[in-house]
């Protein structure tokens, strides 16, 4: 993908209408836009609104904005309007196709970009998509940062995500107050693409470890071991971790309330495999993990939590 695929127009009709408030000291107040109010985005935007920031939100399904409006946020009608009337706009969308759809066109986010109207993509996409969006933003006079996150629903609600930022360092610094609310740490990783690649590496490792837990648990149960005791032994050892405690319990209960959808994890695995092909680095284990997640997705578990991959293994 290249930036030429984004067909956008200028942000006619919008401008400074929502950017005139000042704090008690007379300093301009930064207005944040937020595009995408799914499991992660709604929690992240809510933390911004609860912290007293000026926030303008948008979602394809307008009804999802209602809880944010009740917290003091304002609802934008189209992505262009949000970006054109905010200092910094964040996007938290499902996949590269969703990001492209929201960015492109006369009503898309890129049509609102310009000097003083910057764009931060927090969605998990591949590095090629991220670089193309960056080029399009810079071409229109804005600053761009990619900032995917590690963490699921609970860390998003608690504001303890890890933010993996790359791109314009001055925008990274300008967005620090918002990052402080949404995450426990924000790392600056350099040039655009590094954040996207880092997120895919981390998610590939996480998915591989989770799949190993599923296989071990399935083996233990089918060989006659007590599942509770398996989890107790794991938790007493060197590789005890919060994910095993939480996801192991869901596997034993065979109940998978969604903290992070399995279908999105499989998307991340697919992007990691594509990155491996471009990089010339074989992923023997991760490629197999991707196939297991694909099986879980096509057998009806895509909208369940990532731990539902256990159903494709047991």
Terminal C-alpha separation, the chain:
39
Contact between residue 209 and residue 265 where contact means Cβ atoms under 8 Å apart:
no
Give CA–CA dist 50/46, Å, rounded. Answer: 6
Are 272 and 226 a contacting pair, CB within 8 Å?
A: no
Which of the 8 DSSP states describes residue 91? E
Residues in the chain: 314
**CA–CA distance, 131 with 144 (Å, rounded to integer):** 10
**For the CA atoms of the chain, what is the radius of gyration?**
21
Q: How far apart are the C-alpha atoms of 127 and 110, rounded to whole Å?
A: 18
Q: What is the largest CA-CA distance in the chain?
A: 69
* CA–CA separation, 149 and 161 (whole Å): 6
For CA atoms 295, 296, 299, 302, give the dihedral sign: negative
Tokens read off for 2: 């290249």
Catalytic residue at 199? yes
Catalytic residue among 153, 184, 199, 294: 199
Catalytic residues: 199
């Amino acid at each position: 993908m290249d930036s030429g695929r984004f067909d956008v127009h200028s942000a006619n009709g919008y401008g400074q209408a929502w950017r005139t408030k000042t704090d008690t000291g007379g300093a301009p107040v930064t207005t944040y836009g937020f595009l995408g109010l799914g499991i992660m985005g709604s929690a992240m935007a809510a933390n911004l609104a609860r912290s007293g920031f000026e926030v303008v939100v948008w979602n394809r399904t307008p009804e999802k904005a209602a809880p944010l409006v009740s917290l003091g946020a304002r609802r934008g009608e189209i992505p262009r309007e949000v970006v054109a009337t905010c200092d910094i706009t964040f996007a938290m969308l499902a996949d590269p196709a969703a990001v492209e759809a929201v960015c492109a066109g006369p009503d898309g986010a890129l049509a609102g970009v310009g000097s003083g109207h910057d764009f931060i993509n927090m969605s998990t996409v591949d590095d090629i998509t991220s670089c193309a969006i960056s080029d399009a933003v810079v071409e229109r006079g804005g600053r761009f940062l990619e900032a995917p996150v590690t963490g699921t629903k609970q860390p998003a609600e608690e504001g303890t995500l890890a933010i993996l930022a790359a791109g314009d360092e001055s925008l990274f610094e300008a967005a620090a107050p918002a990052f402080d609310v949404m995450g426990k740490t924000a790392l600056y990783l350099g040039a655009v693409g590094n954040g996207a690649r880092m997120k895919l590496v981390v998610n590939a490792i996480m998915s591989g470890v989770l799949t190993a837990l599923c296989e071990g648990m399935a083996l233990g149960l089918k060989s006659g071991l007590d599942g509770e005791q398996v989890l107790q032994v794991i938790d007493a050892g060197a590789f005890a971790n919060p994910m095993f405690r939480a996801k192991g319990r869901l596997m034993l209960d065979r109940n998978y309330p969604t903290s992070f959808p399995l279908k999105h994890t499989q998307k991340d695995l697919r992007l990691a495999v594509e990155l491996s092909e471009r990089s010339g680095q074989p992923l023997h284990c991760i490629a197999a993990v991707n196939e297991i997640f694909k099986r879980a997705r096509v057998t009806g578990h895509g909208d369940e939590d990532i731990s539902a991959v256990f159903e494709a293994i047991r």
